Amino acid sequence: MSTLFTPHTDARMANIIDKVRSGERLNLEDGVYLYQSNDLLTIGQLANEVNIAKNHNRVYFIENMSLYFTNVCESHCAFCNFRKDDGEEGAYTLSGQEMVQYVEQHIHPGVREFHIVGGHNDKVPFQYYVDSLKALNERFPEVTLKAYTAAEIDFFTRISGLSIREVLEQLRAAGLKTLTGGGAEILSDQYRKKMRVDKANVEEYLEVHRTAHQLGMKTHTTMLYGSIESHEDRIRHMMQIRDLQDETNGFMVFIPLSMQPKNKNAGIMRRNSAYEDLKTIAISRLMLDNFDHIKAYFINIGPQLTQVALNFGASDVHGTILKERISHAAGALTPEGLTRDELIWLVKGAGRIPVERDTFYNEVKVYE
């Protein structure tokens, strides 16, 4: 165990270090203090210490492929530039067979997971979403279907008249294995009102994941940060996720998502700073003591900062992705995907051991 950390560590920070090292859970005031502190290196070192204790020097990635059946959406979230109205130029809704054809043209050997999200398209019935998964599952049974956000599941209950459990059961019968983490944004109803997040509210988001966990599913969860929310909002978000994890132990990973500006040409002052991104990853690691993994999402923060984040508490770098669209529609300047070799290089360059995994963090191959 390393000694303390920088010569300027104050008494409050020293108390937080003691709490973490003794296994005592950090509270709201601790989390807000960490955000307000300028002692980034101490926060990062402490998060790294926690991560090493959980995951040693291993960093995980997966060969996956992002798919988007439709960008038509009834919601008008203030931060989204992916959505389209039905009939608008650029709007699309692909059938299951059309998506199968797309995948056949772009898939490469080794893909283990389809990451599937899209708009809340109320111009098609719930059965369309079931049949979409069924078509992929029948053609590519060896690929895990990670599909739909909790907000999408809540939307399906509204267009179908079914309960959350019934929706999930039908989707599971079609091949669904796990939910994506999106739709959380910031878990504050006040935030959601101001940002026009006219989809699942806080309790609905949590209830979808709770129900999925009760059905035996493991899921993912996110936090979209960098707009109007306060540091307290972010910590309260983490604490609500942490509470549900205490209850169900159903989350596999927490993914902080750095907000992207709508305009790709937006200047540096319209983007989160690298300092803020690293601090958020580190604080996530410290607050979420009951999570195994914190993800550094290169689509939002870039490959090089992702590499640095592996020394600030992150243990996962997501996957190959292939043609990410949502963050790039919102102004991301990062690559739309990386190859397996690039991910291995990225992880090794940070002095860590790359581990190829499946969706559920079972190890496929270790690249010593």
Give the Cα separation of 137 and 124 in Å (integer): 20
| Cα separation values, 237 from 205, 214, 274, 276, Å | 12, 21, 21, 17
185 is in an annotated binding site: yes
What does the alpha-carbon distance between residue 219 and residue 273 come to, in Å, rounded to a whole number? Answer: 29
* Residue owning tokens 């969706």: 359
Q: Are 262 and 232 in contact (CB under 8 A)?
A: no
3-state SS assignment for residue 74: coil
345 burial type by CB count under 10 A (0-12 exposed, 13-18 middle, 19+ buried): middle
342 among the known binding-site residues? no
CA–CA dist 254, 294 (Å, integer): 5
Is 114 annotated in a binding site? The answer is: no
Q: How far apart are CA 227 and CA 276, in angstroms?
A: 12
According to the annotation, is 74 in a ligand binding site? Answer: no
The tokens describing 59, both together, are: 């960093």
8 φ, ψ (degrees, to nearest 5): -110, 10
138 in a labelled binding site: no
Question: Is 169 assigned to a binding site?
Answer: no
DSSP state string for 281-340: HHHHHHH-TT-SEEB--HHHH-HHHHHHHTTTT--EEEE--SS--HHHHTT--S-S---H
Residue 248 CA to residue 335 CA, distance in Å, equals 35
Parallel, antiparallel or unpaired: strands 176-178 and 219-225 = unpaired
Q: What is d(CA 97, CA 55) in angstroms, rounded to the nearest whole number?
A: 40
The strands making up 219-225's β-sheet, listed across from edge to edge, are 219-225, 251-258, 293-294
- The rounded distance, in Å, linking the Cα atoms of 311 and 6 is 16
Residue with tokens 């709490």: 19
Write out the binding residues: 73, 77, 79-80, 185, 196
Write out the binding residues for S-adenosyl-L-methionine: 79, 185, 196
Write out the binding residues for [4Fe-4S] cluster: 73, 77, 80
